[in-house]
Amino acid sequence: MNTVAVIGLSWGDEGKGKIVDLLSEKADVVARYQGGTNAGHTVYYKGKPFSLHLIPSGIFNKNTICVIGNGCVVDLKSLEEEILLLKKEGLDVDRRLFISNRAHITFPFHIDEDQRIEEKKGEQKLGTTIRGVGPTYRDKYARIGIRVVDLFHPDDFRKLLELNLKTKKGMLKKLSINSIIEEYHSIAQKLEECFIDTVQFLNDEIDKDKRVLFEGAQGTLLDVDLGTYPYVTSSHPTIGGICSGTGVPGSKIKRVIGVAKAYATRVGKGPFPTEFEMDFESHFRKDAKEFGATTGRPRKCGWFDAVGIRYACMVNGVTSVVITKLDCLSGVDKIKVCVDYKTKDSRKLLSFPADAKKLSVVKPVYEEFTGWKGDIRGIKELRKLPKEALAYISALEKILRKEIVVVSTGPIRDETIVKGRIW
């Protein structure tokens, strides 16, 4: 079997887009398995940054087929816009982009609901991306969701819409069911060729020994079950999400590559134990360009949190690790890595806390490493790294007890050190 899963090991924004783009040079198929347009995967194409929100990052490789699996929620209007933008760049997506006919649809009213729920929560808001992702998953689990396959049965589609909107009476501004039906009928016609049974397709491709890559969106600590609940997304970025979100069984996933930045970031609300001191953070954020690709929000920045990452390696069965944005640490005098959490009364925690409140008061225990001065952007060979950067990478390998197979030294595809086996 030639399959690889690429999974974020923290709160998303680990730089998975670039890594998937790089790995998909050798992939026949790249499949997303969860999330919706809340993802922001930045890939450099022809020297320009391009932010993808729903389409898999493999789309920039002309020979790669991209799949949006049944576990994703699809905002078809935004998908159309993304396809148009790619076409403008000269990228042909015809017969290269397939969407599961089982995927649930995010409608504009889901986006309205996302906004309203956040407003109502006031101080307790989560800081969602307001892409309607949570409300779409909520409808899915309440069994009032509308799937791609329903678009092709006009009577059923109307009934499902009526039922869905009935449950939200008074919560939404008056909507015209007829105009929604008309609009989505036209979208469905335009995208008809993209909608297939991706469960059968992916399993057939794997059985033919094709190279299939599963692209995670967000990250392990945002997983609705395994993350820092309630400050999480509404899907499963972790390994189990691949099985339910594509119909590919765990026994067909050969390698699991976990992606982490050389430091830590987080957007939205929720605990972040290793956050930098404020002055250093704002200065670092600017240099490292840590602003959200989907929302433009400033990301909180902090030290590498090996406790969270070890937990993420465990729950995903990670076989090797990729470290991104090492170049952004250049010039930092002393680099810290959190190796343990302690409680207020100095007891060491034996596992990653289930309770966000408990996580917000842990005291990180740091190991310190000497930084390096010169610019390392674009370095492609391990031996060309300053000795302090090399020492940092091998320390991370020891702390995580995992091999680091790729080190990213810049946003562009070839600004990368490949030091171990990927496929």
Among 220, 234, 316, 320, interactor with ligand IMP by CB under 6 A: 234
Q: Which of 21, 28, 41, 150 is catalytic?
A: 41
Among 4, 5, 10, 13, interactor with ligand IMP by CB under 6 A: 13
Task: Please report whether residue 317 would count as binding ligand IMP according to CB under 6 A.
Answer: no
50 phi-psi bin (left φ>0, alpha ψ -120 to 50, beta other): beta
Pick between residue 130 and residue 349 the one whose CB is nearest to ligand IMP.
Answer: 130
Among 78, 128, 228, 238, interactor with ligand IMP by CB under 6 A: 128
Dihedral angle, C-alpha 149, 205, 319, 68, nearest 10 °? -30
Residues 6+ apart with CB under 8 A from 178: none
Comparing every residue's Cβ against ligand IMP, the nearest one is 268
Q: What stretches of 208-360 show up as alpha helix (H) in DSSP?
A: 239-246, 278-288, 306-316, 356-360
Task: Please report whether residue 56 would count as binding ligand IMP according to CB under 6 A.
Answer: no
CB 300 within 8 A of CB 325: no
Part in contact with ligand IMP (CB under 6 A); list of ranges 33-41, 305-313, 328-336, 413-421: 33-41
CB 338 within 8 A of CB 273: yes
Among 108, 127, 240, 298, interactor with ligand IMP by CB under 6 A: 127
Write out the DSSP string of 116-185. HHHHHHGGG-----SSSHHHHHHHHHTT---BGGGGG-HHHHHHHHHHHHHTTTTTS----HHHHHHHHH
Is 13 among the catalytic positions?
yes
Part in contact with ligand IMP (CB under 6 A); list of ranges 123-131, 140-148, 271-279, 327-335: 123-131
CB 265 within 8 A of CB 9: no
Pick between residue 13 and residue 21 the one whose CB is nearest to ligand IMP.
Answer: 13
CB of 11 to ligand IMP, least distance (A): 6
Identify which of 176, 195, 277, 266 has the alpha carbon closest to the alpha carbon of residue 228: 266
CB of 119 to ligand IMP, least distance (A): 14
Task: Please report whether residue 222 would count as binding ligand IMP according to CB under 6 A.
Answer: yes
Per-residue b or e along 77-115, where b marks 16 or more CB atoms closer than 10 Å to that residue's CB: bbbeebbeebeeeebeeeebbbbbbbbbbbbebbbbbbe
Coil vs helix vs strand at 60: helix
CB 55 within 8 A of CB 83: yes
Pick between residue 114 and residue 150 the one whose CB is nearest to ligand IMP.
Answer: 114
Part in contact with ligand IMP (CB under 6 A); list of ranges 10-18, 93-101, 103-111, 192-200: 10-18
Among 268, 273, 308, 411, interactor with ligand IMP by CB under 6 A: 268
Pick between residue 108 and residue 371 the one whose CB is nearest to ligand IMP.
Answer: 108
Among 129, 220, 319, 416, interactor with ligand IMP by CB under 6 A: 129
CB 202 within 8 A of CB 29: yes
Is 283 among the catalytic positions?
no
Task: Please report whether residue 134 would count as binding ligand IMP according to CB under 6 A.
Answer: yes
- Active-site positions read 13, 41
**Binding interface with ligand IMP (CB under 6 A):** 11-13, 38-40, 126-129, 131, 133-134, 217-218, 222, 231, 233-234, 267-268
